[in-house]
Amino acid sequence: MMPRTPWRCFAIACLLLVGATGHAQTKLRAWNIHPDGYPVTEAMKRFASLVAQGTQGRYQVEIFSNATLGDQPKAVQMLKSGEIDLAEFSSGPLSDAAPGLKALNLPFLFTDSAHMFKHLDGKLGERFAAKLQAAGFVVLGWYDGGGRSFYCVNRPLNSFKDLAGARIRVQQSEVYLEMVKLLDATPVALPFKEVMGALEKGDVDCAENNMPSFESTGHYKVAKSVYVTNHVISPEALVVSTKLWASLSAADKTAFSKAGAESAALMRELWNKRVASAIETASKQGVQFVRLKDPAPMVRRMSPLYGKYMNDPSTREELLSIISN
């Protein structure tokens, strides 16, 4: 038997240590804009758990919710720079990276979420995912961004014409800015976390968002009039950076993809329940909901927007694919 030299003893000890602890653990940082308990956050927790299981604990995902690391535009840049590894983004900021996604933000494009996912869970979703990957984002799951509606402070809403002259908060997205202008209103682009203060101080008169966001942020406490238009039904996406994706083995990519798909399924299930509970909570606090009965007048008002994006080569193919199916 060969004598055990000091260096050989050290090597054996290292091998034994690796055998006892498994592979080195990699910690990943994941961002989202929503609070704890929100469907997005809960679905991301499921994703983190499934990734840990699927990689035998080699990858641990830490979730930073409520935009604690910065607002959404900043988070997009953080993902690209490697400061964060995963994120859940709305389609607005992602459309700046992959212009074809602007088609998904057009008003009254989808009748409901089921109609939207019919496309995103098929070839159209694959095409968008490929464009996003080229821009630095790998889609692991399509989440439900829900139907967006308008809500205002001290401004009764019975028609879209009641929005004329209002200062309406929108996310920083070309389509949303143009949409509000076509309603004879003034768009005000603000970070999501600043909307409550802007409504309270009167810096904006109205905002537009989905009902769970309206309720979870407490906006319903000051904005008592909601015009339920569901004018935009858009997706959100759970994404990882292409840098992280390239570093994963084939087996780990499979584990991440499976975890993403399962988290998306959970998110959609939780979302439907949260929409109903959000409306119930707001109604009990005196919020008045008026539902859009006929979208045709608003659709006609949006015709310049449709024309612009139908003439844009980057969005025409996607629009034709959605309209024809």
Q: How far apart are CA 177 and CA 185, in angstroms?
A: 10
DSSP 157: -
Let me know if residue 195 belongs to a domain: yes
| CA within 13 Å, CB half, 62 | 10
Let me know if residue 2 belongs to a domain: no
Among all chains, which residue has been given the structure tokens 């076509």? Answer: 182
Which of 61, 51, 59, 63 shows the shortest CA–CA distance to 22? Answer: 59
Q: How many domains does the chain have?
A: 1
Let me know if residue 78 belongs to a domain: yes
Q: What is the pLDDT of residue 13?
A: 45
E strand or H helix at 64: strand 59-64
Among all chains, which residue has been given the structure tokens 């070309």? Answer: 174
Q: What is the pLDDT of residue 75?
A: 93
> Are residues 136 and 241 in contact, defined by beta-carbon separation less than 8 angstroms?
yes
In order of 65, 127, 258, the CA distances from 322 in angstroms are 33, 13, 26
Q: What is the pLDDT of residue 2?
A: 46
- CB atoms under 10 Å from CB of 97, counted, come to 16
- CB atoms under 10 Å from CB of 189, counted, come to 13
∠ at Cα 322 (316, 325), nearest 5°? 135
DSSP string, 240-268: EEHHHHHHS-HHHHHHHHHHHHHHHHHHH
Which of 178, 189, 176, 271 shows the shortest CA–CA distance to 232? Answer: 176
Residue numbers of the domain that contains 198? 8-323
pTM of the prediction? 0.83
Q: How far apart are CA 270 and CA 291, in angstroms?
A: 23
What CATH number does residue 185 fall under? Answer: 3.40.190.170
Let me know if residue 190 belongs to a domain: yes
Let me know if residue 1 belongs to a domain: no
Q: What is the pLDDT of residue 19?
A: 41
DSSP-based three-state secondary structure for 90: strand
Let me know if residue 101 belongs to a domain: yes
Q: How far apart are CA 84 and CA 30, in angstroms?
A: 6
Q: What is the pLDDT of residue 1?
A: 46
For residue 156, give both structure tokens.
């009764």
Backbone angles phi, psi at 92, to 5 degrees: -60, -60
> Are residues 185 and 166 in contact, defined by beta-carbon separation less than 8 angstroms?
yes
Q: Taking the chain (325 residues) in consecutive chunks of 10 residues, what is each chunk's mean pLDDT?
A: 50 43 81 94 98 97 94 91 95 80 89 93 92 94 96 97 98 90 97 95 97 95 98 95 96 98 97 95 97 96 94 88 80
Q: What is the CA radius of gyration of the chain?
A: 23
Let me know if residue 3 belongs to a domain: no
Let me know if residue 223 belongs to a domain: yes
